[in-house]
Structures are given as structure tokens and as C-alpha cells.
């Protein structure tokens, strides 16, 4: 099968195509014929240095997949050959989603939303699960709460806006001025131009902050949170303030989650959640996809087509 691997840690040029042996599903696993693979910041961050991820003898990149079950391993009853599925297998272990085939524990996948193409479905798993686990599992956002989403037009952010809105929250997003109309169309009640306005001067009495930026955003976000509010940071634990001063502060590392994927699919089918696709490229142009992503200018997601 064709697969994209990292020949040496470093720049995008180190992503190269190789012929690898097609994997076989083990016990409790399925073999998926990949139609599309999503691209996420963690992909290029790990390609750069290897990060903390336990890599196999051949570093094969990627986690987000949408495709068709080709075969099932012993003990699998959830799926059969021909089922369309999507998910984020094995994260943060190596999955190798930038390939024609990938194996996955059956419960790391869910049935693909019927209303989405494979390209759209491949844009969802890691980003949507991150948003879901931050908002729902960690902060327990409920109707009437005020939620601030930083980088609201990004891969995680634009989905977090929609999920928070679907749960009845009043949603505030930070983004450049050119993306404000888009975010209002996704349900944002209020949008702040981070280039011209310090968000802590423009908003207050927030129940939940989702920080997809890092740096000093966590510390600054304390100023807008109500007592007992919740700051959830996504880039890493370094973004957590040393003294959260009367609020909850959490770092979320996304996990594979069948139930979460099913909840996300249900929102999609109800018309309450839709991924934005910034760029679609063929598998062999994975290096170009990383170059585009690393510029930090995308709105929504980058997806590779594998067929």
C-alpha cells in the first residue's frame, strides 16, 4: 500500500511516499480502506522532532481517517466489511493514517455521518473530539452559560463554537476581523478582533474559556472568568496559569472515544455541526499540506484524499 512516512525528523520535505506492507487487523481491530485523512497541528509538530509519541520502526504520520471497513479481526461485532466509519485511532500512539489502509481498535471508530462526504468526515475526529471533551466532558457546558473560544475560526475553534451553541451557550469567539461573518454564521453571538482589541477588555463574566492558542492566553483569560469558572487549555500544560485564583483550570489531551464520535455524528445529522474545509490535497502532497498548515492562516481543516 502507499503511505506517507517521515524519513528524517525535520521540515515538510521529510514527508515522503513509500510502499509498505498492508497491515492485518488483530484481535478487536478492523482494517479500514482510507478514503480521506485529516491533517492536524500535532501531525507537523511530531514530524518536526518526533515529540513524545512512541513511533514504530517506520514513522507513519496521521490520525484522522474516514473510510470503509475492509476486514474485521477476531472478536469484532460492531462492524462488518463495507461499513463506512470515521475516527482517530490509537492517539497518541502511532496510527499511520496518511495511507491507503490503516488498522484500528474497533471502538476507536464510529459510523460515518451519512450526510457527510469522506473528506468532511475526515476533518472531524481529532478536532471535534478535542472540542467535545473540553466543553462537555471537562467543563460540562450547559444552557445559558457564557463560553469564550480563542482562535474560534481554527480547526478546533470553529467546531467548539458550534458544539457550545448546540448546548445552549452564549458563545464569544476571538478571530481576525475577516472571519467574523463566518463565525456569526456558525452561531457565535459575539466576536472579538484579537488584532485590534485585548479580549480581556472586551468581555467579562465568562463561565468557560477554551484556549486553543496557549502562551499568555491562559493567564489573561483568568481576568474574564467568573469565580468558579473553568479554563480549558489545549496546546499543553504549559498554558495553565500557576495560580488559577478561584477558577478551575484543566489541560485536555484528546482521547479516542466511540461515544464522543457518536455524539458528534448525531449533531451533524441534526444540522448543528459541520466541518469547514480549508484545503483538499491528494495524499502524495502531504508535505504541501503541512506547509500550508504551519503558516497558521487556515480557516477550518486541511484534508488529504487517498483514493
What is the structure's pLDDT at 130?
A: 98
The partner residues of 86 in beta bridges, in order of sequence, read 66, 110
What is the structure's pLDDT at 242?
A: 80
Residue 239's pLDDT band (boundaries 50, 70, 90)?
confident
Q: Per residue in 175-197, pLDDT tens?
A: 999 999 999 999 999 999 999 99
Q: CB neighbours of 54 closer than 8 A, spacing ≥ 6?
A: 93, 94
Q: Per residue in 73-132, pLDDT tens?
A: 999 999 999 999 999 999 999 999 999 999 999 999 999 999 999 999 999 999 999 999
pTM: 0.96
Q: CB neighbours of 114 closer than 8 A, spacing ≥ 6?
A: 269
The stretch 13-40 carries a mean pLDDT of 97
Residue 272's pLDDT band (boundaries 50, 70, 90)?
very high
Cell numbers describing residue 22 = 498492508
What is the structure's pLDDT at 307?
A: 79
Residue 237's pLDDT band (boundaries 50, 70, 90)?
confident
Cell numbers describing residue 129 = 473530539
Torsion of CA 5, 44, 272, 212, to 10 degrees: 160
Q: Where are the alpha helices (DSSP H) in the chain?
A: 41-49, 118-122, 125-132, 157-166, 180-186, 199-202, 217-221, 258-269, 286-294
Sign of CA dihedral 265, 271, 276, 282: positive
List the helix and strand counts (H, then E) for the chain: 9, 15
| Averaged pLDDT score across all residues of the chain | 96
* Statement: residue 211 has pLDDT above 90: yes
Residue 33's pLDDT band (boundaries 50, 70, 90)?
very high
What is the structure's pLDDT at 51?
A: 86
Task: Determine what percent of the chain is predicted with pLDDT higher than 70.
Answer: 100
The stretch 198-227 carries a mean pLDDT of 95
Amino acid at each position: 500500500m502507499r503511505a506517507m512516512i517521515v524519513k528524517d525528523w525535520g521540515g515538510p520535505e521529510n514527508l515522503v511516499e513509500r510502499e509498505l506492507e498492508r497491515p492485518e487487523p488483530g484481535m478487536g481491530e478492523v482494517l479500514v480502506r482510507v478514503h480521506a485523512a485529516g491533517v492536524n497541528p500535532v501531525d507537523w509538530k511530531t514530524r518536526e522532532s518526533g515529540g513524545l509519541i512512541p513511533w514504530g520502526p517506520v514513522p507513519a504520520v496521521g490520525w484522522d481517517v474516514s473510510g470503509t471497513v475492509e476486514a474485521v479481526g477476531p472478536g469484532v461485532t460492531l462492524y462488518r466489511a463495507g461499513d463506512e466509519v470515521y475516527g482517530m485511532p490509537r492517539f497518541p500512539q502511532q496510527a499511520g493514517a496518511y495511507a491507503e489502509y490503516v488498522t484500528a481498535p474497533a471502538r476507536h471508530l464510529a459510523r460515518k455521518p451519512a450526510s457527510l462526504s469522506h473528506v468532511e468526515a475526515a476533518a472531524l475526529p481529532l478536532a471535534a473530539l478535542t472540542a467535545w471533551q473540553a466543553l462537555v466532558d471537562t467543563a460540562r457546558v450547559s444552557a445559558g452559560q457564557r463560553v469564550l473560544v480563542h482562535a474560534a475560526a481554527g480547526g478546533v475553534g470553529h467546531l467548539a463554537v458550534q458544539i457550545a451553541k448546540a448546548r445552549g451557550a452564549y458563545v464569544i469567539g476571538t478571530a481576525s476581523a475577516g472571519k467574523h461573518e463566518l463565525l456569526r454564521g456558525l452561531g457565535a453571538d459575539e466576536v472579538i478582533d484579537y488584532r485590534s482589541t485585548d479580549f480581556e477588555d472586551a468581555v467579562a463574566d465568562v463561565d468557560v474559556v477554551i484556549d486553543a492558542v496557549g502562551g499568555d492566553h491562559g493567564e489573561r483569560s483568568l481576568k474574564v472568568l467568573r469565580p468558579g469558572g473553568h479554563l480549558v487549555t489545549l496546546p499543553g500544560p504549559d498554558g495553565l496559569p500557576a495560580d488559577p485564583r478561584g477558577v478551575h483550570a484543566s489541560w485536555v489531551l484528546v482521547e479516542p472515544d466511540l461515544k464522543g464520535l457518536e455524539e458528534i455524528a448525531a449533531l451533524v445529522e441534526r444540522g448543528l455541526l459541520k466541518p469547514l474545509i480549508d484545503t483538499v490535497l491528494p495524499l502524495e502532497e502531504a508535505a504541501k499540506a503541512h506547509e500550508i498548515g504551519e503558516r497558521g492562516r487556515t480557516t477550518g481543516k486541511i484534508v488529504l484524499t487517498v483514493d
